[in-house]
Amino acid sequence: MSDPEDRRALREPAADLVLPGQLVTLRRTSGADVPALLRILREPEVAAWWRRDEWERLDETDAVTFSVLREGAVVGCIQYGEETDRDYWSAAVDIFVSAAAQGVGVGPDAMRTLIAWLIDARAHHRITVDPAAANARAIYVYEKLGFRPVGVLRRYERVTHGEWRDALLMELLAEEFVR
């Protein structure tokens, strides 16, 4: 679907959509997944970068959310939002995975799986991520997937005790995607 006019026909993916990866399976998040996801968000390694209250407000956004499953167990969450103006058609992605699932390829596989689907099925030409500028681990993974830094978003998000932190805006063009 290369014609921007054709993109208007795209609708939100079905609630039963499942995207198989090499290590993980992405399944549209259901209410049954919420307790596991909230437990993951309480883990110090995750809570340092993701605010639980931010995720709990997800129903107030247009984000489409998938649970990340490894061997049938919920080990994280990945979501995307779309810019639907045909002249800016693109997607932004966010992810978190449990501490136990970090460092074994779960995050990169989940990202590759969703990004490939966003490019192939949703016809996006550009994907963005905006990790905290201090989150070196996430930035490293995104660079390995082909994302390039665009610039620092200063005082981008409010965190604990009302403090602000910077984020690094990164983008990936479809033709740069490392599958």
Model-wide pTM > 0.85:
yes
Give the per-residue pLDDT at 10.
63
Q: Would you call 30 helix, strand, or coil by DSSP? A: coil
The segments of the chain whose pLDDT lies below 70 read 1-11, 52-61
Beta strand 164-173 with 126-129: parallel, antiparallel or unpaired? antiparallel
CATH numeric code, 4-176: 3.40.630.30
Predicted local distance difference test score (pLDDT) of residue 14:
81
User: For residue 67, what is the enclosing H or E element?
Assistant: strand 64-70
Structure confidence at residue 61 (pLDDT):
65
> Which strand ranges, in their side-by-side order, compose the sheet holding 25-28?
18-20, 25-28, 64-70, 73-83, 90-97, 126-129, 164-173, 148-158
Q: Where are the domains of the chain?
A: 4-176
Q: Report the C-alpha gap between 179 and 177 in whole angstroms.
A: 6
Q: Count CB neighbours of 100 within 10 A.
A: 14
- Which tens digit of pLDDT belongs to each residue from 32-81? 999 999 999 999 999 999 876 666 655 556 789 999 999 999 999 999 99
